[in-house]
Structure formats: structure tokens, C-alpha cells
Structure 1
Amino acid sequence: MNTTVELFFGLPPKDPEMKHFPLLGSHWPLTTIIAVYLIFILKLGPKFMENRKPYNLTYVLNFYNIFQVIYNSILFGLSIYYMIINPAYDWSCMMHLSLDHPEKNMERWLCYAYFINKIIDLLDTVFFVLRKSYKQITLLHVYHHVLMTSPVYWVFQFYGFGGQYTTLGFLNTGVHAVMYFYYFISARYPELKGSLWWKKYITKLQLLQFIILFIQPIYVLLFNPGCKFPLFLHILQLIVSTSMVTMFSRFYYLAYVKPKPQKSLKRK
């Protein structure tokens, strides 16, 4: 029984440095942030904007988008170095680095920086509310933002920094660097928005990242069954990636594949 439980969970001792990182010492700060976020975007925000005109956030969005491009590009570049150029992990079994590994602090700070960026991402929806762009606040949008924030915290708490889930951060920061660059161009030069043909390819990139994340645990379980990465985290990755592939596929179909209804011509 103990062997089965150990195989399923396989949790290592908690990283003693975890408590020194802001927002990681307790679940209450993040829980409060998520709760306030949901209450604001679903209830208080729309109520506040009910009798107000949409705010002009052009300058705020320009700064925010270019900030996100730079932030995600830096994380993506560092991820390329530590995962491909000078790999710290064995791709066939991505366990987190040992506490005495020379790159352990870099692993901690890269993961933490990614976590903070997922919190910053929540501003996307806040801006939608303040601009009264409610049609963009879809189930996929909210689900994606919450799912990319809260579970990251709990994985840190139960497993620690790094390991197989670093692949998520590696892929996600690359996709987000491209995505926020698109947002920057479309906000900075609204006259070009209709001609930015590569918008749909951003959704394809998002789909591709979750397909890769779906394949990864299957590959490890089939071809390296001796890997001690926790089984329940493999299962969690499969569940999350499946839900994301399903929802992004549906979004792509409705936005780019499904024929648009033709406007009827009125006789004069």
C-alpha cells in the first residue's frame, strides 16, 4: 500500500527556500487575488461600468503589452539556454534539480518569475472590463487565466520548483511573447488590425503547446517507466492539457473555420 501511494504521489521534501519567496509562504495571498479577480470581472466590474463610458486605455495597453513582450521573451530566452543549449534536465525524465545543484537558484527564480507573470496576466481581463469589451471575457479566457495561476502555486508547494512542468513555462512564455507582440501592434496601430493575418496562428501555437504537453507524460510513462516524477502530476498534466486542447480547438473552429452567416440584402 505504501509503495503504491509513494509511486502515485512521489513527493520530495519541500524546498526550504520556498518560504522566502513573496506569495509562496501561504496560499491565502493567491487565494485572495483569485477571489478578488473573479468577483471583479464577473460582478463588481460590470456593475461599476454599467453607467460609465469605456475607458480609453491606449497608453496603458501599449506599456502593458510591450512589458509583457519583454518579460516573456527574457524568460523564453533563459529557458532555451537551460533546457536546450546547456540543458540542466534529462528530457526523458525531468525531475527538479537537487538542492545542492549549481543551477538550483536559477531554477527557483525562473519558476518564480513565471508564477508572478501569470498573476500579472490577470490584468488582461481587468482591462476588458474597464473597456467594456465583455465579449472577450469568455469561459475559455477566464478558465485559462485561473488555471495557469493557481495550480502553478500548488505544484510548487507539493513538488517544488522546476521539473517536468518547466516545459509548460518554456512553451508558454514563447507563445505569450508572440501573442503580446500582436496585441501591442494592434493596439498601437489599430488601422493595421484587419491586415494582421497571423492572428489565427497564435491560436495554433497555443494549441500546439498543449498538444506537446499532452504527449510529454504519455511518452515518459511508456518509454521511461522508471522515471520517479510523481504519477499524479502526470495525470494532472494530461487532464489540463486535454481540457485546453478541447477548448482552444472549439475556439479556433468557431473563429476561423465555421462559415460566417451571410448578411441578407434588403430590397429597396
Structure 2
Amino acid sequence: MGLLDSEPGSVLNVVSTALNDTVEFYRWTWSITDKRVENWPLMQSPLPTLCISTLYLLFVWLGPKWMKDREPFQMRLVLIIYNFGMVLLNLFIFRELFMGSYNAGYSYICQSVDYSDNVNEVRIAAALWWYFVSKGVEYLDTVFFILRKKNNQVSFLHVYHHCTMFTLWWIGIKWVAGGQAFFGAQLNSFIHVIMYSYYGLTAFGPWIQKYLWWKRYLTMLQLVQFHVTIGHTALSLYTDCPFPKWMHWALIAYAISFIFLFLNFYVRTYKEPKKAKTGKTAVNECSMTVHQPWTKLPA
């Protein structure tokens, strides 16, 4: 007998039980949050983060429409300041995570979260919070593309990466601001020091392109990062590290999605037939402009 054929009282009991279980699960999840970060900016509720991400997606949709009949903004000085500012921010995050984890005696194989007010643990939590904030600041990458009418750079990979990183890291900071979480942020912030250095140099203009032959190796470095992340997470699962298992599996799936997307970007950018010297090539009788060496990688 199906649910629709049951007595009304039975149906109500099932619904009531399901609702009660959901409420209890919700209360339980909030009872195990990291109490050290609950009063930090943006951490009291997910709503500010979700609102910022929603506004970001709205700008991705509406921004190009608003810029359609406008001249692109010339933002060279702004981009130079922004990109080298991001270099400093990521360098700070990397340094704080490295020094905090070193002083706390962290293991790169398995490290559980210490929710105490130990000075090194709080230092790591604060660095991870800054890492989360940096992902929100990186939304400006997309804003600058759209204001400069570089809409070809606002790909699915670009938007997917930016939007999910900021949103998902709120969860990381809220529940696991330490332990195994330090490794991925430390590795990624180091790579972003290199990447934003490249972006800052590209902002000086085409004349510097001959010095930026190493662009393709940045994409390779990103791919290595994702493989290292998967290996590190798999090792953590293998050693039964006391860290939320669902986060481990979610991270592996997330990294795999990036591997496919970045591989697709790499193949299309570097492995497809070389374009003619005119900067264009015929594809299905259509002309496609080649990306110039100073265009931005999917950060």
C-alpha cells in the first residue's frame, strides 16, 4: 500500500517525523560549528555570502548588457594595483598558514581540527578566514573583464570557479577552520602568488608579452595542484584521519571537476592547431580571433 493509500493520520505522522528529523539535524549541525569564528565578519550567517554570490551572478548576466553600447573602461593602473595587491594578500595568507602550521606541529598526512584558543590554531583559523575573504575579492576579476568588454574571458570555468570557491569556503571556515583544511588553502595561495604576479605583469600591456612565455606552465601548475589535492585527500581517507569524511569526498569530486575543465581549457588553448600569423583561423567557415598572450588564465 502506497503513502497516498494510507490513513491521513499515518501520513501526518510520516511528515511530522521527517520535519522533526530535519529540524534536529539542522540544530545539530549548528551545534558543532567552530565557536571561535562565529562572531567574525560574514560568519554569523550564510546569507551575506549567498547575497554577494547572487549579486555576482547577476552582474555576470546583466553587466555585458549594460556595457553593450558603452566604450570599454581603460583600467591599466587599477589592474596593476589590484593584481599586485592580490599577490601581497595571498603571500600573507601563505605565510600565516605556513608559520602557524609549522609552529603548531601540523602533519601534512593527517591533521584533525583543534578548536581551542591556542595562539597558533587561532592564527591558522584567521588565515583561513582571510583566504575565504580573498575568494570574494576575486569576484573583481570578472567585474574588470566585463567593464573592459573582455566577455570572452568570462567562461563557464571562470564563473564556476569563482562562485563556488567563495561560497563553499564559507562552509569550511564555519565548521573546520583548521586541521586538514590548511593544506589546500596554503597550496592554492602559493599558486595565486605566482598567478597574480603574472596578471600584474600582463596589465602593463602587450610590450611585455615576450617575457611571459611561461603562461602555459601556470595552467599546468594548476592541474598539478588539483592532482596533489586529490592525492592528499585520498591519503587522509586511507589513514582514517579524524576529519569529516563527507568533506573529503566532496573535495575529491570538486577537484575532479576542475581537472576536466582545466584540461579542456589547456587543450583548446595550447594543443589545437596553431593559428595563422594574422591572428585568425577558419573554423567551420567562421573566423575566430586568437587569444593574445596577455589574456588572463582562468584563476
Query: Same fold by TM (over 0.5)?
Result: yes
Structure 2 distance, partners of 1:245, 1:192, is: 30
Structure 2 distance, partners of 1:12, 1:32, is: 24
The residue that corresponds to 2:124 in the other structure is: 107
- CA deviations on 1:190-218 (whole Å, 9 max, x unpaired) are 31125411111111111111111111121
Structure 2 distance, partners of 1:67, 1:141, is: 20
Check whether the contact 2:110–2:180 (CA below 8 A) recurs between aligned residues: yes
Structure 2 distance, partners of 1:169, 1:196, is: 26
The amino acid of 2:257's aligned partner reads: S
The residue that corresponds to 2:297 in the other structure is: none
The amino acid of 1:95's aligned partner reads: S
Q: Match of 2:107, SS?
A: coil
Check whether the contact 1:10–1:230 (CA below 8 A) recurs between aligned residues: no
Check whether the contact 1:95–1:164 (CA below 8 A) recurs between aligned residues: yes
Matched, 1:34 2:56: no
- The counterpart of 1:240, out of the listed 227, 245, 254, is 254
The residue that corresponds to 2:293 in the other structure is: none
The residue that corresponds to 2:72 in the other structure is: 54
Return the offset for 1:19: 2.2
Matched, 1:200 2:219: no
Structure 1 distance, partners of 2:56, 2:37, is: 25
Matched, 1:128 2:145: yes
Check whether the contact 1:11–1:230 (CA below 8 A) recurs between aligned residues: no
Structure 2 distance, partners of 1:244, 1:136, is: 17
Greater Cα shift, 209-218 or 255-264: 255-264
The amino acid of 1:27's aligned partner reads: P
- CA deviations on 1:232-252 (whole Å, 9 max, x unpaired) are 011011101111111111111
The residue that corresponds to 2:16 in the other structure is: none
The residue that corresponds to 2:164 in the other structure is: 147
TM-score (structure 1 length as normaliser): 0.87
Matched, 1:181 2:203: no
Return the offset for 1:77: 2.2
Q: Match of 1:163, SS?
A: coil
Greater Cα shift, 175-184 or 185-194: 185-194
The residue that corresponds to 2:17 in the other structure is: none
TM-score (structure 2 length as normaliser): 0.79
Return the offset for 1:261: 4.9
The residue that corresponds to 1:71 in the other structure is: 89
The residue that corresponds to 1:257 in the other structure is: 271
The amino acid of 1:171's aligned partner reads: L
Q: Count residues in correspondence.
A: 251
The amino acid of 2:266's aligned partner reads: Y
Structure 2 distance, partners of 1:14, 1:195, is: 47
Greater Cα shift, 46-55 or 190-199: 190-199
Structure 1 distance, partners of 2:191, 2:165, is: 14
Greater Cα shift, 253-262 or 238-247: 253-262
Matched, 1:96 2:110: no
The amino acid of 1:186's aligned partner reads: T
Structure 1 distance, partners of 2:41, 2:92, is: 21
Greater Cα shift, 245-254 or 185-194: 185-194
The amino acid of 1:253's aligned partner reads: V
Return the offset for 1:41: 1.2
Structure 2 distance, partners of 1:239, 1:110, is: 25
Decide whether aligned partners of structure 1 residues 48 and 194 sit closer, same or farther in structure 2, where only a CA change above 3 A counts.
Answer: farther
- CA deviations on 1:114-158 (whole Å, 9 max, x unpaired) are 11101000000000000000000001101110121101001223x
Check whether the contact 2:96–2:124 (CA below 8 A) recurs between aligned residues: no
Matched, 1:15 2:31: no
Structure 2: runs of 5+ lacking an equivalent:
1-27, 283-299
Structure 1 distance, partners of 2:150, 2:212, is: 20
Check whether the contact 1:10–1:228 (CA below 8 A) recurs between aligned residues: no
Structure 2 distance, partners of 1:195, 1:33, is: 37
Identity of aligned residues (%): 33
Structure 1: 4+ residue segments shifted above 3 A = 9-12, 85-88, 261-264
CA RMSD of superposed structures (Å): 2.0
Structure 2 distance, partners of 1:79, 1:27, is: 24
